[in-house]
Structure 1
């Protein structure tokens, strides 16, 4: 394991006598605010109150896997990649680094924004960070799959707690940043997300959904929660009784921040209330404290609450409760007593510092999962040219659009630098030993005598919202993407560095027309391309009949180019996957698990040309890659890994790093028999590894190593404390039986053998990532409180542990448990 120095932050040890009373600070300020001032504080953008020395403040700074949206910052692997590490300590250290950089942006504006593309904006940076996402990865088709940690509630709670602990810091009173968990409740569908009503049975609610939130809240490391856009069991989440009945039962001071425009959606989209005055009053009563509504304009929010107070729908005490929680959160960051703030000295030199860059590499390495390694195809050993005279060409051909690029996602910061997989291989083997080709067709669009292009033509597949494959057109001449621009987004220019933005204007749908021609539609605006009177492309045609029909001419065959590269090289590395801005992201669910057709065809052609091929999948979610699993000797998966993606993947490919990432969710063999995306009944419909008996390509927790690990017997002991609570201790010995040092993720699962209701086939109860030298053994002991074996009893309205026999299994994944033992529990 790479040793990474701790982030350089000021000493947080403060004598007890000097620990500030932040609750008293908040209460004193609340008592001095007028009713109008307090109402103004309910909006996300709180105004300054000069007479009290209160600065302007707003909730919300995105910090999912690095500081996002405000400039150059260290970019760590996507959250699903951090989930693949199964490493609490590593995730905690990532959270520490991210929160330290948030502090730097907040406290050293001039230097923090230098060399940033938003340097002229100097936004106000909030120490209230909206992260992590603890929504469970129940459905791999979910557009925001990249944002969660795991499909398992225990793993999600553990990793979210670790990340929040890093974001919070260790000081007894002052928080480095104040994390807000997203998105409560049962939020797992993007299509019509602001009106969809998700039915969650009581057992699923209490056994599957709530534990992911409960873990970090009860650990005292989450400052707040954000409700999701959807309705749950007929009630919009922003007025759901579980905000107070569950969240506030775990922590009465928890701040609840609305999602963007969700308060107005209660009337405008969901039609759940007749007026905004009623809806805002109901949300306040339900426990929402901060209203992210109408952008920075607080006017409507203030008017609605003022009228609600006048009508008696709310009381000043209701307002005080919310504003008091908001002021307490602000006080917890040291805002009201800078002299006592141990983090006040953090400055811009921590942003993308050597320590943080090294941590980014460590995290990216730890997230890489070796899915298949037939006949020891990896590590990659490239013979010297004289040892392979039949292959005079390069040692390695890197094939695929993602082999030469490092992509960000919607919640990424600005990359300080980027190392692609091709870059990493060139470093490992030398420039002349590596060739890289996109494998995409180069095409032109011809309308009569007018020709546009050439463009590199990339297929990104389909989504629920768009059943026609969407494509990008990257101009060969300048490397820029064809995009919408100008007034009304009707001008079309090759002017975008990457596909990006809330509305991705670089996506084009190719629809067949008469005589083999094609009409091209903007996926963003819905309008069609035509050739304007001046001979330039415009996207202003409202109908297909008004569009120009183009002849799409293939100038260079991507597959032919790829096959030539693979044939001449000794080894081929095919890099496939997704662009996180396209067909699977916030607001856009995937319509299936298959690779885009062009990517699948590319892979098959390369493998036929050179069977010595390794597939690297770089993606935000699982794919159903059945053909590859049968025909490709080695397969590696990683989430988009940030700035160090290429170094991390190549370290695994070459054996410089022994892979130990494990899948945080099931890879299904097909989506043909998956339940509907809105079906949240994981028990009745057999969702997730806990209940699924479908065909799985790769199991939850799966991942291979370059060494082997042997498991000793599993020994179970039961302990009872003075209050009668039972704890199961599960102990086993792990031995590295191979010749290479490596890390194993030891996983413990339970199964109730005599349950009165259907219970999980396997239920994760513990995990530890350990490192062992060749021949080294280590004893791992898991403590499992018996309450974690409980199921929800509708008869008693509570979680209940039944007497009976419970089987525990320990091993490498949910489907590979070489050691097991049973224990009989008698519950009084």
Structure 2
């Protein structure tokens, strides 16, 4: 073990931290002049949204309408349905699994293009709350359990978006790490844990990426709701120098005076809310300082200048342009780069001379490309695992036969209708939407596809205020004989007729205490069984009474959201598993695609189990028993239990990888590309010792402190943080740390790690370095990630990899001085391929004085 003495700052000298990255300059004098032209009423009007997605225009300041939109798996835009499609990029866990900051920055640039294409100025992404527990329902929308990896991926994401002249919004500030009672829960986090873990990614994104907006979360932290929390001003503004806009999460602004005097600049959505005239009155009464109002407005004008929303000022940068083919190629490559091969007993890659492949499992025919909630977008297409594998095998010399079966039913709800089952009156695939007035007159119709429909901003000017009912009309065609479940989902009154006969008339409502997102993603439903012969059809009309009950939050009507549902006939699980086993036994290779669905992983609710839904575990075990060359593809955004892991030939984690899922999967399975991912979160063996998401008496106590994920020495891992296999092998041969860079610049050092490709093909390795502090006087994790870098090499090639070591990795938060400090003495530096495979080590000794 090498002993390297590194001089630390004197005890009375502050440890330097990176200065904030300057955002592109705007003319502050011009902004002040525009501010000065506004009355108090005009200023306050700008502090609440004009509608669900936009800020008010203000001609007196030269401000046009400024539009924001949800991310991070795509850019939604103001229309949330299949008529305005969005490129569906890999979800955040998949992006973080690439451990590739350059790739993520490219994805950010693509998102900037998508934003401008859809008329969006500010993207409400990235989400950088931590994977405190895999029970978190929004786990897929966050990046990692580790603050350093989260920061590096988040910085790259923001830099890419803002390089295209589109604002990024880092969210949700802070400790919004679970969904249960998220509007009100009080997260109790000790000071050191808060700064070292949960604030750390936000700090890096503010200081290094110069993010233009921050979103304040719904929850409380240590007793104060985040839209009023002192952390906004004391930390975000004063300590970090943030000069952008702090907006509320939607409907999270709770007060007039406390929020108005604090660090919140923009209350969303609007036009209703606790500000407006009440805030004007509070200023006139002296309860809110006018200087605070001016600061809020100046920040909004600064953001507007950066994105080009002020008259006479161009956006600080222009977004690049992409063709459809370029988007497809980027998303296909990015998806494969995030796939994590956690087990391979020589089964992958599938050999080119394969003759028959069975593609099985509930996620094979319709894979899941993204998670539920505000991250949902409508892609122009989605390549299923079955279609991707079938197309790739067909292109091989001689081709290969592909058989397929779902094996089990993994969802409990009746699914939104697919066009394969429906036709409009003109015979084209899809459904017809009819807007009907109180007299029964059809005001307008829309040809639509799919089965999920949202009208957040009304039904259109031509029928505005006149619609009494919405009808979804379709001819339902039987693709195969059997019983079809047909019905609707939503809130309020719904009626269904089949060939003119009414089969139900129901009032649907959410259970007490349900989150608003449940009304969007998993609304209550009513269905009716219809038995049809193959080729037989029936005419179906689903009618919803507008105003009979809908989705509301804080007294605001959120519009109309409903589903038309059709579930085709399905065999019993016993018969379906038996059929899948027959296909697997007759195949050279069995690919079983299992995973979660919107009932399990979504914004708005947490998971109550990590088990795969339904009888998927049994399906895997029985297929593996029938065919030793079984590859299990896990299509989930967060960890699931895998009790069969040691019984199968290979396990590939594909997350929610975006619209190119099937093509990217085929590339990896057949060896055209290497699976590039490494785990951004610990994959647990069981549900023992996992932190809870359920508040007790309204509080969630972060009692594990610094020991999150792999940092906990008592956490059993099936697969460790950072783990991932490729199609070659690596040997770690040397670790050195030149001292000079650390002495000359107390911001970063460098570890040099030498590795050799010991396999038979070119590959990519993610070299990881971890720090620990044996014998520390402080409570410490067992180890923590200090740096990483990727390398590619040919067979037999030896490469030296330089891994940056930011000084923050050596620092801890001192609760006495309320600042960063370094404990002098010996730190151990380890290098390897995961948090559990670290063959190289050296000792670094910090000493006092320079």
| TM-score calculated relative to the size of structure 2 | 0.77
**Residue 492 of structure 1 corresponds to which residue in structure 2?**
none
Question: Match of 2:405?
Answer: 437
Query: How many Å separate the matches in 2 of 1:202 and 1:339?
Result: 42
Residue 99 of structure 1 aligns with which residue?
112
Aligned residues between the structures:
706
Q: 2:89 aligns with which of 76, 79, 95?
A: 76
Say which SS state the counterpart of residue 257 (structure 1) adopts.
strand
Residues 298 and 752 of structure 1, relative CA distance in 2, 3 Å threshold: same
- 1:719-730 matched pairs, under 5 angstroms: 719=740, 725=746, 728-730=749-751
CA 1:720–1:420 in structure 2 vs 1: closer, same or farther (change >3 Å)?
closer
Question: Contact 1:72–1:413 (CA<8 Å) still a contact in 2?
Answer: yes
Shift of 1:47: 2.8
The secondary structure found in structure 1 opposite 2:615 is helix
CA gap of 1:384–1:406, structure 2 versus 1, over 3 A, is closer
- Measure, in 2, the Cα distance between the counterparts of 1:254 and 1:319: 14
For 1:417 and 1:551, how far apart are their aligned partners in 2?
A: 29
Provide structure 1 residue ranges, at least 5 long, that are not aligned to the other structure.
Answer: 1-18, 107-124, 170-174, 267-278, 386-394, 441-457, 461-468, 489-494, 507-518
1:421 to partner: Cα distance: 1.5
Residue 181 (str. 1) matches residue 198 (str. 2) = no
Q: Which residue pairs with 2:71 in the alignment?
A: 63
Question: Which runs of 5 or more structure 2 residues have no equivalent in the other structure?
Answer: 1-23, 424-428, 437-447, 457-471, 473-484, 512-525, 532-568, 695-699
d(CA) in 2 for partners of 1:149, 1:688:
13
Question: Any idea what SS the aligned residue of 1:600 has?
Answer: helix
Cα gap change, 1:526 to 1:701, in 2 (>3 Å) = farther
SS in 1 for 2:820: strand
Asked if the contact 1:61–1:129 (Cα under 8 Å) also holds between the matched residues in 2, the reply is yes
1:670-715 deviations in Å (ceiling 9; x for gaps): 1133232255536458431112422211111110011011112211
Match of 1:595 in 2: 612
Check whether the contact 2:132–2:691 (CA below 8 A) recurs between aligned residues. no
Following superposition of structure 1 onto structure 2, how do residues 150-549 of structure 1 map, counting pairs within 5 Å?
A: 150-169=144-163, 176-248=165-237, 249-263=239-253, 266=254, 279-293=255-269, 296-298=270-272, 301-336=275-310, 340-341=314-315, 343=317, 350=321, 353-374=324-345, 376-381=346-351, 383=353, 385=355, 395-407=356-368, 408-409=370-371, 410=373, 411-430=375-394, 433-440=401-408, 458-460=409-411, 470=413, 472=415, 478=421, 497=450, 534=501, 536-540=503-507
SS for the counterpart of 1:159 is: helix
- 1:409-461 Cα shifts (integer Å, max 9, x gaps): 34243312222221221222127611222223xxxxxxxxxxxxxxxxx333x
Question: Which stretch has the larger CA shift, 253-262 or 404-413?
Answer: 404-413
Aligned mates of 1:799, 1:565 — CA distance in 2: 60
Instruction: Kindly state the Cα deviation for residue 551 of structure 1 after the two structures are TM-superposed.
Output: 13
Match of 1:649 in 2: 665
The Cα of 1:753 is off from its aligned counterpart by 0.9
More helix by share: 1
Range moving further from structure 2, 187-196 or 691-700: 691-700
**Cα contact 1:754–1:804 (8 A) shared by 2:** no
Compared with structure 1, are the counterparts of its residues 776 and 586 closer, same or farther at alpha carbon in structure 2 (3 Å cutoff)? same
Secondary structure in 1 matching 2:35:
helix
- Counterparts of 1:712 and 1:258 in 2: how far apart (Å)? 50
The answer to whether the aligner puts 1:671 opposite 2:665 as a matched pair is no
Output the CA distance in 2 between the equivalents of 1:758 and 1:79: 31
TM-score by length of 1: 0.79
Matches within 5 A, 1:105-184: 105-106=118-119, 125=120, 127-169=121-163, 176-184=165-173
Q: Post-superposition shift, 1:198?
A: 0.8
TM-align CA RMSD: 3.5
Alignment correspondent of 2:40: 35
3-state SS, counterpart of residue 322 of structure 1: helix
Change (3 A) 1:658 1:767: same
Q: 1:521, 1:527 within 8 Å by CA — same for their partners in 2?
A: no
Distance verdict in 2 for CA 1:342–1:555, change over 3 Å: closer
Report deviation, 1:779: 1.1
Deviation at 1:502, TM superposition (A): 11
Q: Deviations over 1:734-761 (max 9, x none)?
A: 1111111111011110101121122111
Give the corresponding residue for 2:823.
802
CA distance in 1, matches of 2:60, 2:493: 53
Matches of 2:367 and 2:153 in 1, distance apart?
Answer: 25
Please state how far the C-alpha of 1:31 moved relative to its aligned partner: 1.2
The answer to whether the 8 A contact 1:224-1:254 is kept is yes
From the superposition, tell whether residues 521 and 759 of structure 1 become closer, same or farther in structure 2 (CA, over 3 Å). farther
Give 2:789's aligned residue.
768
The farther-off stretch of 155-164 and 783-792 is: 783-792
**Greater relative contact order (CA < 8 Å, ≥ 6 in sequence):** 2
Instruction: Using the TM superposition, give the Cα deviation of residue 158 of structure 1 relative to its aligned residue in structure 2, in angstroms.
Output: 0.7
**In 1, Cα distance between the equivalents of 2:742 and 2:587?**
65
Q: 1:22 aligns with which of 18, 24, 27?
A: 27
Distance 1:615 1:479, change over 3 A: farther
Find 1:578's aligned residue among 596, 602, 608: 596
In the alignment, the residues of structure 2 paired with residue 548 and residue 656 of structure 1 have an alpha-carbon distance, to the nearest angstrom, of 44
Q: Distance in 2 between matches of 1:662 and 1:550?
A: 45
Cα shift at 1:501: 6.8
1:185 positional shift: 1.0
Question: After superposition, what is the alpha-carbon deviation per residue over 1:20-73, rounded to whole angstroms, capped at 9, x for unaligned?
Answer: 743233222111111111110001223333355432234x22231321244223
Q: Is the 8 A contact 1:675 1:685 kept in 2?
A: no
Q: Is the 8 A contact 1:527 1:543 kept in 2?
A: no
Distance 2:759 2:743 in 1: 44
3-state SS of the aligned residue for 2:660? helix
The DSSP-based 3-state class of the residue aligned with 2:248 is: coil
Which position in structure 1 is the counterpart of 2:535? none
User: Is this contact kept in 1: 2:63–2:304, CA < 8 A?
Assistant: no
1:336/1:777 Cα in 2 relative to 1: closer, same or farther (>3 Å)? same
